[in-house]
Amino acid sequence: MNMKLELVVLPVSDVDRAKAFYEAAGFRLDLDKDVSEGWRAVHLTPPGSECSVMFGRGLTSAEPGSVQGLYLIVPDIEGARAELVARGVEVSEVFHDAGGLLYHGHEGGEVTHRLEGQARLAGLHPDRASYGSFATFSDPDGNGWVLQEIQQRFPGR
């Protein structure tokens, strides 16, 4: 049986603000359906992705900003970061983890990306290894995204 992840629901506090953010970041608007005062769905897709995000009114009871560790895989992390910054998105500097093991969490308003006690080191992975270089950003509610550079996938992927 094949299964494909195609949609992630994001909890947001202001639908129009979130829509403007994701459109400015380059996501394609697929749907904005406002059925009633209690229900609205906005569906957007990142460039080149088969998985989309949806948010709105009446879709989830999760706290705005509570979704963390959403990965956007890119072949060139420096280029992807530069494009997002040019579009007005606040993106962290590129980094890599000292030991290569990762943890996703939210500490004091910043997306963390490391194993507890492990250092987040500035710059590209020293060998520019696939899966080794990252940058992070958040939407206006704090839902956390991770850019990860992958130039060559692990076998079977």
Q: How confident is the model at residue 105 (pLDDT cuts 50, 70, 90)?
A: very low
So what's the pLDDT on residue 127? 86
So what's the pLDDT on residue 115? 52
Does the residue 1 lie in any domain? no
Q: Is the pLDDT of residue 120 over 90?
A: no
134 and 74 in one domain?
A: yes
So what's the pLDDT on residue 155? 76
CA-to-CA distance for 7 and 51, rounded, in angstroms?
5
So what's the pLDDT on residue 106? 45
Does the residue 107 lie in any domain? yes
What's the mean pLDDT when you consider all of the chain? 89
What is the percent of the chain where pLDDT is above 70? Answer: 87
For 136, phi then psi, to 5°, come to -130, 155
Domains identified in the chain, total number: 2
Q: What is the DSSP string of the chain?
A: ------EEE---S-HHHHHHHHHHTTPEEEEEEEEETTEEEEEEE-TT-S-EEEEEESS--SPTT----EEEEES-HHHHHHHHHHTT--BPPPEEESSS---EEEETTEEEES-TT--EEESS-TT--TT--EEEEE-TT--EEEEEE-SSPPTT-
44 and 88 in one domain?
A: no
Q: CATH number of the domain that 50 lies in? A: 3.10.180.10
Does the residue 38 lie in any domain? yes
pLDDT tens digits along 11-49: 999 999 999 999 999 999 999 999 999 999 999 999 999
CA-to-CA distance for 109 and 119, rounded, in angstroms?
18
Angular region, 142: left φ>0, alpha ψ -120 to 50, beta rest: left
Q: Is the pLDDT of residue 54 over 60?
A: yes
So what's the pLDDT on residue 87? 98
Q: Is the pLDDT of residue 112 over 70?
A: no
Q: Is the pLDDT of residue 114 over 80?
A: no
80 and 131 in one domain?
A: yes
80 and 138 in one domain?
A: yes
Q: Which two tokens stand for residue 29?
A: 């608007």
Mean pLDDT of 121-142: 92
pTM over 0.85: yes
Q: How confident is the model at residue 102 (pLDDT cuts 50, 70, 90)?
A: low
Does the residue 36 lie in any domain? yes
Range of the domain at 112: 70-149
So what's the pLDDT on residue 99? 66
